Amino acid sequence: MNETEWRERLGAMVRDYIRSPELEHYFAIKMTKPRAAIMVMQQSLFVRHRRDCWANVSANCPVLAVKQRILEHEYEEIIKDDFSDYGHLHLIIRQGQSVDLTPEEILNSKPLPTTMAALYAWGWITRVKSWTESLAAMTITEWSNDDRLLGDLGGGQSTRMAKKWMNEMGFTWKQIPNLQAHSQADEKHSVMFLPFLSEYVTGEKEALAIQAAKESLQLNAIFREGIAKAQEKLPG
């Protein structure tokens, strides 16, 4: 497939994902500070774990240009980009303070069972599967934040959740810096690996990569559904 065909194939998968019962449940939970705190703590684990997963993809990949692009991606996530001078974990810590979490509470977050299962699975995919499969699995999760793809469905994950935080808790964009950043930053990140999918994921590799991307979206749905169920246990 060429870049356009990859964009269309992955985009269709993400649109199905955002309309899944798990994501509908995730966005249906009325937001309160205690419920939002659950999301922040689990998201902090997700963000930190992705650094390991992208490192796994790079370690398994023999193509220098792909390694360079991963380093570019990770520099923006860990070191500095247009949204933070300290990396995206710092954005989560700042956002956590808006729901009365201390930095220590966020850094010492304990995973929900569903979070643990999803993180273990993403770790396995990126260590054991081929680099082309794991690249597809990692990049597609960032497509779920792309408003260009999902605008007619209410926006990507970060935009939709930002609206909930603002509408249901009266927050401003300044109080939700992580959601604000990812409603924009992942538009760039969602397409930055398309040229490599087109060039290196060919022949029988295509079906394997598509399957890995599908499995990754299923894991993302499990992760989000686990958060929603934990939030439901708290008073609304």
pLDDT band at 178 (very low <50, low <70, confident <90, very high): confident
Write out pLDDT tens, residues 149-174. 999 999 999 999 999 999 999 999 88
Query: pLDDT for 212-228, tens place per residue?
Result: 999 999 999 999 999 99
3-state secondary structure 105-126: HHHCCCCCHHHHHHHHHHHHHH
90-128 pLDDT, tens per residue?
899 999 999 999 999 999 999 999 999 999 999 999 999
Q: Which residue, chain included where needed, has tokens 């240009």? A: 65
- What pLDDT is stored for residue 83 in this prediction? 65
| Count of domains forming the chain | 1
Least confident stretch, 28-42, 94-108, 146-160, 173-187: 173-187
pLDDT in tens, 52-81: 999 999 999 999 999 999 999 999 888 876
pLDDT value for 183: 61
User: By residue range, what is the domain housing residue 190?
Assistant: 3-232
Q: Of 60, 44, 88, nearest to 189 (Cα)?
A: 88
pTM beyond 0.85: the answer is yes
Whether 93 and 216 have beta carbons less than 8 Å apart is answered as no
Over residues 5-17, the pLDDT tens digits come to 999 999 999 999 9
Give the integer Cα–Cα distance in Å for 220 and 230.
16
> Taking the CB of residue 94, how many other CB atoms lie within 10 A of it?
18
**Domain with 213 in it: what CATH number?**
1.20.910.10
